[in-house]
Amino acid sequence: MTKLVSPHGGKGLVCCLLEGAALEAEKKKAAGLKKIEISSRAKGDLIMMGIGGFSPLSGFMKKVDWKSVCEKMLLSDGTFWPVPVTLDISAADAKAVKTGEEVALVRNDEVMAIMKVEEVYEMTETDKKQECELVFKGEGPDSKKFWEVAPNDHPGVKMVLEQKEYNIAGQVKVLSQGDFPTKFPGIYKTPVELRAEMDQRGWQKVAALQLRNPMHRSHEYLAKIAVEVCDGVVIHSLVGSLKPGDIPAEVRVRCIDTLVDKYFVKANVIQAGYPLDMRYAGPREALLHATFRQNYGVNNLIVGRDHAGVGDFYGMFEAQEIFRKMPKPAEAGKRLLCHPLNIDWTFYCVKCDGMASMRTCSHGKEDRVILSGTKLRKMLSEGTEVPNHFGREEVLVILREYYSSLTEKIEIKMQNAAVGAGM
């Protein structure tokens, strides 16, 4: 009998991935259907619907759900959901499809899913801007001049503004998990697989550490705090696509492997990966991270400084604050049951002679080595020396090897708040 938190939505795991004879039959059918090319983001969303990671979603959102999620963080049936999950199509494709028919959703010549079309709706420039303001704007310094900087500097906003003219909605039958199972064997795990592993260990209270950057000393410290207060921690890395300048998943996985092998009690930690692309939606994305972590059996999400942020669009701890502001539906199954494990700004303190946080260290910033994934990437990309205690040497060896292999350097911008803190 599982002790883990139940999946989000009150319907159990809603898995749209076909197997066996049903899969083969739908693959044959797909060959004769109209084909719609989808984005990398939509591919990740489809796979999450396939494996139950996006429960209770079983398809891309209709306009009523898109609008309700943007404005209220609720699906139209009252279930909590923080970020739109939509599929954009061109005006030509919108004219070519009919409500009620099935279409094949294709990414780079691979049929990922079959959708039964339930609705095609226009996304005007006004609609796109509304989504950007409600989902991505935040309360940081850059948000005061949002439309001056976001179209060029916010990857999530750029993604929405560059979407095609229409959205298509409907239930999906997922036919593939892409190359994630073969590319990341033992790391890429479905909710069913991760839940089984945690059940085998007898875990009940579980924390997840969200990672898109290489795991530095601050991440290690956050994970170890979670181990102290939970049955175990899942180091859960995004293995989908990132923005230019971020470090590929294969490199990050090697770094985590090294840290887990040398610095953790293995019985208390699981490394796993999930197939989404980053949306860079800051606080709203923190809520999304908690929502699908609940489907994976996790009931605590570690939320530190600037979770899922980009640039200076969000306040440093806005992702913690949003959990106190989110809607809480009356029906338990429709509420978010994965709670934040909030941790203050962490760093290495020379006078404390160890890792600490603003809550535990009384010393000044001149005594602190402030840790940041962005700062680490900037130093490594520019070939500058990494300060002592910033990262484990075994990890820095892997990262230096990666950066030395690059033929083209990408400028990495630092946040104003981070620079001001002495990073």
Q: Catalytic site residues?
A: 212-213
Task: List CB contacts of 207: < 8 A, sequence separation 6 or more.
Answer: 226, 227, 229, 230, 232, 233, 234, 298, 300, 301, 302, 341
Nearest to 136 by CA among 108, 161, 114: 161
Angle at 324 between CA 323 and CA 328, to 5 degrees: 85
| Residue 21 CA to its chain's centroid (Å) | 32
Q: Are strands 346-349 and 166-174 parallel, antiparallel or unpaired?
A: unpaired
> Which tokens belong to 117?
């079309």
Here the tokens at position 233 are: 């921690």
With beta carbons less than 8 A apart as the criterion, state whether 275 and 48 touch. Answer: yes
Residue 86 identity (one-letter amino acid): T
User: Sign of dihedral through CA atoms 281, 284, 289, 292?
Assistant: negative
Backbone CA torsion sign across 129, 131, 134, 135: negative
Closest CA to 105 of 52, 200, 49, 37: 37
CB 287 within 8 A of CB 336: yes
Beta-sheet strand order (sheet of 269-274): 269-274, 232-238, 206-211, 300-303, 339-342
Q: What angle do CA 318, 308, 106 make, to 5 degrees?
A: 140
Residue 24 Cα distances to 28, 30, 31, 154, angstroms: 6, 10, 11, 41
Distance of CA 359 to the CA centre of its chain: 27
